[in-house]
Amino acid sequence: MEGIDIAHIRSQFPILNRTVWNKPLVYLDSAATSFTPQCVVDEITRVYTTCKANVHRGVHSLSQEATDLQEATRECVREFINASSTQEIIFTRGTTEAINLVSSSYGRLLENGDEIIVTTMEHHANIVPWQLLGSRKRIILRVVPIKKDGTLDLEAYQSLFNERTKLVAVCHVSNVLGTVNPIKDIIKEAHQYNVPVLVDGAQAISHIKVDVQDLDADFYAFSAHKMYGPTGVGVLYGKKHLLKMMPPYQGGGEMIGTVDFKKTTYAELPFKFEAGTPDFVGIAAFKKAIEFMQSIGIENIAAYEHELLAYATAEMEKIPNMRIFGTAPQKSGVVSFLIGNEHHYDLGMLLDKLGVEVRTGHHCAQPLMHALSIEGTVRASFAAYNTREEIDVFIAALKRVSAMLG
């Protein structure tokens, strides 16, 4: 495909050369975590071996260098998602912590009887933090149902708003169905009622061009490890005026102005929300991951993954008793499926023996599983380093497994 030099991309991921059960590895689990190119690994090594000193705490040269690296990543993230200011970019441990930050902090501004709109297709990370809030006060979750094809029922969504609605928390892309939600329209609708929207962007950020200002998102959360980056790093984007009125999330070093037993003041944004020593090595390396994606072009990645998805789906549909969950017109590179009534674990274990790594289970989306009346699925997901040849191996493996299970 034009714009994608797949051999060059693959050459940057040494892990692709390994085998599983003596078979060449076919990794189709990038929705859980993506592989990491050598440039990111090299940067981690470089920081550890040349300038590992704590950030924002020292006047000495190493600390300054480490701080500059961290802040350069913040600027890189700002530009990547087109935020208006680095004050709106908060480093977290990942999407989960970013959402917990909003639920703990913004949640303290809510009152008994207030309502939050979520959807049936949310990951547990965008359900449980809101339920935890409800254990401290009476917060009601209103749930947008899904249609047969795995799209959101937007008419039902519109009907859920009332004067008690205080937040909409919705994923940009479903980690199970692959549905790309019409997030701009969802946000526009909420804003008519002056309700802010938190977008769980974990499955979108490395597959779709995200422009937080164009979307008019109030909060946007994502994880570096799903975007070719290191583990333990994530981002919460938040509009400045909202972050300003929110109380701190955690207390400790870095997040303060002055501390006294009588009165403590807090640091300016974004540091108000960054208590303690961050994973500054990971944050520094995260910049390399973003640059890796930019070197290919996120639109090129999206188009390429879309080709892989279309090819895989067409081939899968030829397999008898194939049940694909999620057939939305706008889908990202995720296919969830079952074959007949075979258990997802059996399918996943047998595929593994053939070198094909797929995810099985409820994918941290049990309410969605309940809505689909299933316990779990097998999920194949694609990234920029996957190939049509790998899809052929996957399809051949599926046919073999299907025949084995009868």
Q: Give the residue numbers annotated as catalytic, written as ranges.
A: 364
Where in 3-42 is the site for ligand PMP (CB under 6 A)?
A: none
Query: Using CB under 6 A, which of 119, 120, 181, 203 touches ligand PMP?
Result: 203
Query: Using CB under 6 A, which of 88, 115, 200, 254 touches ligand PMP?
Result: 200
Task: Spell out the SS3 assignment of the chain.
Answer: CCCCCHHHHHHCCHHHHCEECCEECEECECCCCCCCCHHHHHHHHHHHHHCCCCCCCCCCHHHHHHHHHHHHHHHHHHHHHCCCCHHHEEEECCHHHHHHHHHHHHHHHCCCCCEEEEECCCCHHHCHHHHHHHHHCCCEEEEECECCCCCECHHHHHHCCCCCEEEEEEECECCCCCEECCHHHHHHHHHHCCCCEEEECCCCCCCCCCCHHHHCCCEEEEEHHHCCCCCCCEEEEECHHHHHHCCCCCCCCCCECCCCCCCCCECCCCHHHCCCCCCHHHHHHHHHHHHHHHHHCHHHHHHHHHHHHHHHHHHHHCCCCEEEECCCCCECCEEEEEECCCCHHHHHHHHHHCCEECEEECCCCHHHHHHHCCCCEEEEECCCCCCHHHHHHHHHHHHHHHHHHC
In the complex, the smallest distance separating the C-beta of residue 247 from ligand PMP, rounded to whole angstroms, is: 22
Q: Segment near ligand PMP (CB under 6 A), from 64-72, 83-91, 196-204, 271-279?
A: 196-204
Total residues contacting ligand PMP by CB under 6 A comes to 13
Query: Using CB under 6 A, which of 95, 100, 103, 386 touches ligand PMP?
Result: 95
* Cα–Cα dist 196/7, whole Å: 43
In the complex, the smallest distance separating the C-beta of residue 172 from ligand PMP, rounded to whole angstroms, is: 8
In the complex, the smallest distance separating the C-beta of residue 22 from ligand PMP, rounded to whole angstroms, is: 29
Query: Using CB under 6 A, which of 96, 100, 181, 360 touches ligand PMP?
Result: 96
In the complex, the smallest distance separating the C-beta of residue 243 from ligand PMP, rounded to whole angstroms, is: 20
Contact characters 207-246, ligand PMP, x per CB under 6 A: ----------------x-----------------------
Interface with ligand PMP, residue 171, by CB under 6 A: yes
Q: Segment near ligand PMP (CB under 6 A), from 44-52, 123-131, 134-142, 328-336?
A: 123-131
Where in 357-376 is the site for ligand PMP (CB under 6 A)?
A: 364
* Cα–Cα dist 334/326, whole Å: 9
In the complex, the smallest distance separating the C-beta of residue 48 from ligand PMP, rounded to whole angstroms, is: 23
Query: Using CB under 6 A, which of 175, 179, 377, 381 touches ligand PMP?
Result: 175
Query: Using CB under 6 A, which of 90, 117, 125, 143 touches ligand PMP?
Result: 125
Query: Using CB under 6 A, which of 51, 81, 89, 94 touches ligand PMP?
Result: 94
**Cβ 332 vs Cβ 207: under 8 Å:** yes
In the complex, the smallest distance separating the C-beta of residue 369 from ligand PMP, rounded to whole angstroms, is: 14
Torsion of CA 88, 94, 96, 100, to 10 degrees: -40
Query: CA angle 402-405-406, nearest 5°?
Result: 85
Interface with ligand PMP, residue 395, by CB under 6 A: no
Report the b/e string of 92-102 with b at 16+ CB within 10 A. Answer: bbbbbbbbbbb
In the complex, the smallest distance separating the C-beta of residue 402 from ligand PMP, rounded to whole angstroms, is: 27
Q: Segment near ligand PMP (CB under 6 A), from 93-101, 209-217, 279-287, 346-354?
A: 93-101
Q: Which is nearer to ligand PMP, 157 or 397 (CB)?
A: 157
Q: Segment near ligand PMP (CB under 6 A), from 16-24, 144-152, 191-199, 200-208?
A: 200-208
Q: Which is nearer to ligand PMP, 386 or 402 (CB)?
A: 386
Q: Segment near ligand PMP (CB under 6 A), from 109-117, 121-129, 273-281, 372-380?
A: 121-129
Query: Using CB under 6 A, which of 118, 202, 285, 372 touches ligand PMP?
Result: 202
How many CA atoms does the CB half-sphere of 382 hold within 13 Å? 28
Chain residues binding ligand PMP by CB under 6 A are 94-96, 123, 125-126, 171, 175, 200, 202-203, 223, 364
